[in-house]
Amino acid sequence: MNNEPFRWITVYSAADAVEANIVKGLLIGNEINCQLLGESLQSAVGEIPIAQTEVRVQVYAIKERHAREILLNYSQEQQSALDWVCPNCNEHNGPTFEICWSCRTPKND
């Protein structure tokens, strides 16, 4: 029996466990079984190289294509929600701020 379709493939490397669990929830919500690798290494940040503390999201090879489509949409949404810089005081503001937190200047769209 060929188990190739049921081997685990890494489809996403998250910077931290929070983001990895967001991605996991997204995939599970779309009925894609997944697992996280490296989540327990998050407590070792600073003790081991940062590259080794990434949390990897894995899916079965048979679901890789569908998972990558979902993750492409996720990445595009994340990029559209970028910080903005206040034109008055040059302070960085989160994407949800409509008014600068520092000087109260409205966001220019």
Place of tokens 């080794």: 52
| 65, pLDDT greater than 90 | yes
CATH number listed for the domain at residues 4-80? 3.30.70
pLDDT reported for residue 46: 58
How are strands ordered across the β-sheet holding 8-14?
A: 8-14, 55-60, 34-37
pTM of the full structure: 0.65
Average pLDDT, rounded, for the chain: 86
Q: What is the pLDDT of residues 2-38, one digit of tens each?
A: 679 999 999 999 878 888 999 999 999 999 999 999 8
| 40, pLDDT greater than 80 | no
- Residue 59's nearest CA partner among 106, 18, 11 is 11
Task: State mean pLDDT over 74-88.
Answer: 81
